Structure 1
Amino acid sequence: MGKKKKSFQLFSTIKAFRFLHIAIYILLCGIMFFAMYSNVKPKELNIDPFQPSKETIRSPLTIEDKESTKRKQDEAAKEVEDVYTLKKEYADNRVDLISSIFDLIVETNDEAEEIYNSTKKEWEKLSEEDRKNAPEKLTSSEKLRMLEPKLPADLTDRIPVSVFTALLEATPDQLSRAEDAIITAVNNIMKTRIPASEVQNAKKKIEEELRYTSVDTSLKNPIKELGQFAVIQNEYYDVDLTEEERQQAIDAVEPVKILQGQIIVKEGQLVSRDMIKQLKLVGLLNSDNSVQPFTGLMIIILLMMAAIIYYFQSEVPTDRNRNFYLLLFAIIFSITIVLMKMISLFQQIDYSEIGYIVPVAMGALLVKLLINEKVAIISSMIFAICGSIIFNEGVTGTLNFSIGVYFLFGSLAGILFLSKHNRRGKILQAGLFVSLINIALILSIMLLKNGNYSSLDFGSSVIMAVASGIIASVLTIGLLPFFEGGFGILSTIKLIELSNPNHPLLRKILTEAPGTYHHSVMVANLSESASEAIGENGLLARVASYYHDIGKTKRPHFFIENQMNIENPHDNIAPQLSKTIIVSHATDGAEVLRKYKMPKEIVDIAEQHHGTTLLKFFYHKAKQQSDREILESDFRYPGPKAQTKVATVIGIADSVEAAVRSMSNPTPQKIEALVNNIISDRLQDGQFDECDITLKELDIIAKALCESLNGIFHSRIEYPAEATKQKVKEA
């Protein structure tokens, strides 16, 4: 007994340690890190260049081979030929130039003719003696001098003078035919592409084309010279267009990627230099980046720990010891992670799907039952992430998404099942439900992979899915009492022990206050059914009801259920004293229960079941007997008000049972009206303000109480006296 007391004190000291939560968070980080360390540690490859590989090596990730991509882009750019642009406007420009030259020739001839005619008219006006020397037409040289100022300087430099002289000497008809011929030839030649290397050939072509025209013989050579002058290069290298096409060719090149799961080296294959380069690229030979996976692991662990810290700070009420529940969570979490890691070691037998048998739902179920649902849900997510890393053997990449989804949905299935069936006896059924969801998930995963699976593969996976759910429920049932006992949590076994009629306190009630004992049993029956109706612990309600009036054993005869064939002592004392005696049974009961080291839940219910309700009978009696003002607060129970739903149910059942027992002829209608009135009065009096019970749950409690009371106080057939005697005789 002494050792047990010392260990309890040590445990209490540990729970009250100021920095315990920090130590637990660090411990959880360490457990997760070491559990997943080997799964993210870069694999050391025994690779020798130009030697056969001892194993098949796959890429752990998808990554772009930028060097190969660049090489392909350069090759694509080189294949693009230089782009040359045809300057179509050059043909029109050269034709316009030839036309302008001929126009200037015609203009010069016309001016020369005008000068001649003007001189001739002047000559005709002279006397016969003065008209001895008749005027002559301008010579070609004179016309040429007139033409040269009109022509551009570069034109006269590049075209022989003889060409202009011949054109100036030609008749208008000859000039017209020559112009048409040369313009046609220049236009035809200049419409084709003439690169720099083909200019001379183009000049020869125009010479050939002009050779057979119907131009006067004297003009063929001049127009040939003029045509060759007109033909120039019209195709030029386009830098911008060339670069644009090369960029398009580069953009069209698909990036060279090493895909996740792609075989880089086959077993027995000679390791080439390119293979070594690819292995380095995917990080399998890069020792410089060996710290990166561990850094990534620490980041994801810190993110998960942030979620745990947040949920414990927001979801665990301040009136509960956070260190207590955090320590409980840490143990459950550690057991689940260690169990995962131990089973993952069997992956070495080349069966990567062994993870399907892990009873990961066990951790989620225990957290749901011992802490709360929201923490259980976040735990499920963390188990899924850790599991996807721990069971990554045999899959490409660091995360095994299939096993992660399997763990997540299996755990959530168990939590959701217990949310609707919040009873300890439903744990095994929850395990079967988890098995069913596991089967559906495994079949879904296998079908999505579209692989060729044999019947044996399907069968073994389904067996593991079923085993996972059942083992999870069995482990939950087996571990639950240890956690409840070790952490002082009120367990089912403990409640059953406290419900034993041979318990000293129950024997005390039975012997010293038999009426109170009977009343407590009736309240136990009512509160159990009502608690279970709203999803609360019915066994806790029953056992707490047995002890809720233990304080009445101190002065049993002052309570009406124990006043059999005796005078009511309250008739002879002041109502203030009666109030003190009646009210004290709640605090007296709590003191007795604490003295016997009863669980805190039962002590709280004994103290809270009357809340701060008003002793109406003695309050009104005091008002009648006194002339001074009597305060309501002086005739109320000290409280506190009910803090839990079970305490609320027991308080209602306590009042209902006493009220119905005092009814002369209870009927279902009267019972229903009475129950509704008692609940309504307590609601209006604010007795439920400190409890998170809902109006819907109060309605369910009322219906459950009415059903139980109707079963207890059901009407019976009254037999005539003679018939009754005959029945007794026959019996």
Structure 2
Amino acid sequence: MEKLQRQMSAVLNLLKLTPFKILLFALLGMIMFFAMYSNVKPEKLDLSLFSVADKTIRSPITVEDRAQTEKKRKEAVDQVEDVYILKKEYTQNRVDLLNSIFDSVSEVDDEANKSIKPKEDGSLPDQGSPEVRLDSFKKKLTDNVTKNISDQSLLSILAAAKDELDIARDLSVTAVNNVMGKRIPADDVENAKKRVEEELKYTSLNTDLKDAVIELGRYAVIQNEFYDPAATDELRQQARDNVDPVKILEGQIIVEEGQLISRDMYKQLKLTGLLESENSILPFAGLGMLIFIILAALYFIFAEKETNDKSQKDLLIFSILFILSLLIMKLLSIFEEFNYTETGYLFPAAMGAMLVKLLIDERVAIFHTVALGICGSIIYNQGITGALNVTVAIYIVASGLSAVLFLRKHNQRDKILQAGLVVSLVNIFVLMALMFIRNTHLSGGEYGFYLLVASLSGISSAVLTIGLLPFFEAGFGFLSTMKLIELANPNHPLIRKILTEAPGTYHHSVMVANLAEAACEAVGADGLLARVGCYYHDIGKTKRPQFFIENQMNIENPHDHLPPLTSRDIIIAHAVDGAEMLRKHKLPKEIIDIAEQHHGTTLLKFFYYKAKQAEMEVKESDFRYPGPRAQTKETAIIGIADSVEAAVRSLSHPTSEQIESLVKNIISDRLQDGQLNECDLTLKELDKVAHSLCETLKGIFHSRIEYPEMTKQKVKEA
């Protein structure tokens, strides 16, 4: 395993160089390209018109069949009938025309009466010859009337008595009004004229007047229904617009196996590009662009991280996990060639997300999930070249995100299996939702199959995560749970060294471990790391155990006879000495950091004020630990717990109120001194830490706590 770590360390050192980092991105891009190459490669189809298809051919894309669309639109337009409108005003116009003709007769009579003088005997002379009256009558009529109404009919009207004319007027107007009230197209005008004639034929008028009225009625009836080109065009346009484009849908079967390729099928094959795919580079260009986008996003994500060893390590871990996920995805997709088209739902999508979340961080895990979903939509295209399986993409993204969100609050390794179960439930719900949205009707056995593969995807993700995590932890130098348990063994040489050479320090370390572990778990930090770190945090005291108060059992305190500066050097040295001893014994970096940082840059107040009282010219900075300050939650909490335990132990009979006050004061002092500025502990989390420390201390010292009521009772008894 050490050899593997050395190899990984060498690779990480190479990644610090820009050319090797570019090479890693290029390698990642090439693997992605070749993993999806066959899924976008256009199919080479040797097809000809009227040949027999040797396999079922599906459309790789959704495309509009413009010829069929135009054909359907033309059919829809042809079915639209011409629009004709009824001009109702024509009826009134023709009725008015008839009235004007009869009014003209009255005007002719009136004019004739005015111009004739009575004879000597008092009688009226003849009103004029019919020809004269007819001529006067025609002058009052339009040319169109005089051309279409015979003189005989006009004379008959002129010759009629006034009461007969009134009857003739009413009959003709009524007949024309009745006939013209209905639609009269151009080809039905003659029939309309006949209907008027039929209405007027059986009247009580004399023969000559009746014939004249019939002629007037026939003349008055005209066409009143006319073609409306604007309305017709509007309806035709609506008919065109209502026809949806005819589309060949992605995945639609164009030709069944063994089917003769007709002209329409051949046109569809040509339209979808299946007959011109041999030399097409567009799918490969599109794939290259998509991969470039993913790699560019990956570059910017890691460009924001600090350019240190951790950044290089995270990039390499991400690359390995992404490649591993792609390979598993590709292997499962091979079964699609054997008509197992649902293998995408079996893919352990949450595996990579959980490993990235545990080994790197949440944001990178989310990006890993989304990028994997994009690749999955191409790889699991169900054998349709160039198609995208959006359903599988949503399934993969939902599966990975559910794992990341679950581990957001449960970052412990022992929660991985629980995360797998949660992912299984999410997979089932998402898969069923997608099936219902697509209105897929399945049998009971098919539903059972989908439930099974969705469950296996979540559980296999957890199993693979648990199985692969130790290899990544060991290979990249991560501090694994197993390693921590091994370091917590009381038989470890360094722990035995503390126990035998500084038993007081050992007891103090165990007490601090109890406090720190509970506080870390209260804020979601690594409690086991805190416990093990506490066992080793004061290993430096074994060099001079008698100079530390917890080891001064029945002996005089040597600091009473030492100058403050010497005492300062001895006390401060235990953090530096401890880190050196741990490095010498090759303990993990996290344990070394705890030993080195648990005091941060705090002030040795006792010896600083002792020096001031001795009127020595000293600076406060001379009596501070060299640091660095706590960089992690675990180290910061251990530092607080270390101070709290020592302070409470100095009290003879600590009460609950004293413990709470002491804890709050120590945390407040650390905050004001800036010791917590470089770790990511929030004020809310510090409240939880304080509460946890108080509860644990009350549990430890419960037998020694004296409540006010008990104290009063003892006083009374005395």
TM-score, normalised on structure 1? Answer: 0.83
Q: CA deviation at 1:37?
A: 2.4
Change (3 A) 1:715 1:46: same
Q: CA deviation at 1:477?
A: 2.8
Q: How does 1:220-259 map to 2 (within 5 A)?
A: 220-253=210-243, 255-259=245-249
DSSP-derived class of the 1:264 partner? strand
* Preserved CA contact (<8 Å) 2:42 2:278: no
| Rg larger for | 1
Which residue pairs with 1:651 in the alignment? 639
Which residue pairs with 2:89 in the alignment? 89
Q: CA deviation at 1:159?
A: 3.9
State the AA in 2 paired with 1:605. Answer: I
Q: How does 1:650-729 map to 2 (within 5 A)?
A: 650-665=638-653, 671-706=659-694, 709=697, 715=703
* Preserved CA contact (<8 Å) 2:42 2:385: no
State the AA in 2 paired with 1:179. Answer: R
Deviations 1:353-383 (A, max 9, x none): 3334333322112111111123223322333
Q: CA deviation at 1:197?
A: 3.6
DSSP-derived class of the 1:287 partner? coil
State the AA in 2 paired with 1:453. Answer: S
Which residue pairs with 2:707 in the alignment? none
Q: How does 1:442-481 map to 2 (within 5 A)?
A: 451-453=441-443, 455=445, 464-481=453-470
| Structure 2: 5+ residue stretches without partners | 705-718
DSSP-derived class of the 1:419 partner? helix
Does residue 423 of the first structure (1) align with residue 451 of the second (2)? no
Distance in 2, Cα, partners of 1:161 & 1:415: 105
Which residue pairs with 1:721 in the alignment? none
Which one is further off, 685-694 or 457-466? 457-466
Q: CA deviation at 1:114?
A: 1.5
* Preserved CA contact (<8 Å) 1:312 1:326: yes
Q: How does 1:59-138 map to 2 (within 5 A)?
A: 59-60=59-60, 63-117=63-117, 120=118, 137-138=127-128
Does residue 43 of the first structure (1) align with residue 32 of the second (2)? no
Q: CA deviation at 1:615?
A: 1.6
Does residue 642 of the first structure (1) align with residue 630 of the second (2)? yes
State the AA in 1 paired with 2:96. Answer: D
Deviations 1:475-496 (A, max 9, x none): 3233223222322333344445
Q: CA deviation at 1:396?
A: 10
Does residue 390 of the first structure (1) align with residue 375 of the second (2)? no
DSSP-derived class of the 2:50 partner? coil
Distance in 1, Cα, partners of 2:72 & 2:156: 63
Distance in 2, Cα, partners of 1:5 & 1:146: 129
Which one is further off, 232-241 or 390-399? 390-399
* Preserved CA contact (<8 Å) 2:484 2:529: yes
Distance in 1, Cα, partners of 2:235 & 2:249: 30
Identical-residue share of aligned pairs (%): 57
Which residue pairs with 1:11 in the alignment? 11
DSSP-derived class of the 2:348 partner? coil
State the AA in 2 paired with 1:240. Answer: A
Corresponding residue to 2:260 among 252, 255, 270? 270
Change (3 A) 1:564 1:385: same
| Structure 1: 5+ residue stretches without partners | 126-132, 717-731
* Preserved CA contact (<8 Å) 1:51 1:270: yes
Which residue pairs with 2:712 in the alignment? none
Q: How does 1:460-609 map to 2 (within 5 A)?
A: 464-496=453-485, 498-499=487-488, 515-553=504-542, 555-563=544-552, 567-594=556-583, 598-609=587-598
Q: CA deviation at 1:116?
A: 0.9
State the AA in 2 paired with 1:335. Answer: L
Change (3 A) 1:248 1:443: closer
Change (3 A) 1:81 1:404: closer
Q: CA deviation at 1:556?
A: 4.6
Corresponding residue to 1:183 among 173, 189, 194? 173
State the AA in 2 paired with 1:650. Answer: I
Does residue 143 of the first structure (1) align with residue 167 of the second (2)? no
Q: How does 1:376-387 map to 2 (within 5 A)?
A: 376-387=365-376
State the AA in 1 paired with 2:479. Answer: L
Which residue pairs with 2:709 in the alignment? none
Which one is further off, 521-530 or 346-355? 521-530
Distance in 2, Cα, partners of 1:625 & 1:101: 142
Q: How does 1:161-176 map to 2 (within 5 A)?
A: 161-176=151-166
Q: CA deviation at 1:691?
A: 1.8
Which residue pairs with 2:269 in the alignment? 279
Q: CA deviation at 1:670?
A: 5.1
Which residue pairs with 2:714 in the alignment? none
Which one is further off, 535-544 or 304-313? 304-313
Distance in 2, Cα, partners of 1:186 & 1:115: 35
DSSP-derived class of the 1:614 partner? coil
What RMSD in Å do the two structures reach over aligned CA positions? 3.9
DSSP-derived class of the 2:18 partner? coil
Q: CA deviation at 1:473?
A: 3.0
Q: CA deviation at 1:318?
A: 6.9
Deviations 1:244-282 (A, max 9, x none): 343444445455444555443222222211122233344
Which one is further off, 1-10 or 700-709? 1-10
Change (3 A) 1:173 1:410: closer
DSSP-derived class of the 2:372 partner? helix
Which residue pairs with 2:204 in the alignment? 214
Deviations 1:508-556 (A, max 9, x none): 6567655545544443444334333433223322333333234445555
Which residue pairs with 2:320 in the alignment? 331
Q: CA deviation at 1:464?
A: 4.4
Distance in 1, Cα, partners of 2:462 & 2:651: 47
Corresponding residue to 1:346 among 335, 350, 368? 335
Change (3 A) 1:182 1:288: farther
* Preserved CA contact (<8 Å) 1:261 1:396: no
Change (3 A) 1:638 1:206: same
* Preserved CA contact (<8 Å) 2:45 2:275: yes
Distance in 2, Cα, partners of 1:627 & 1:411: 63
* Preserved CA contact (<8 Å) 2:63 2:247: yes
Which one is further off, 362-371 or 592-601? 592-601
* Preserved CA contact (<8 Å) 2:546 2:552: yes
Which one is further off, 3-12 or 409-418? 3-12
Distance in 2, Cα, partners of 1:634 & 1:454: 78
DSSP-derived class of the 2:524 partner? coil
Deviations 1:133-158 (A, max 9, x none): 99654333333444444333444444
TM-score, normalised on structure 2? Answer: 0.84
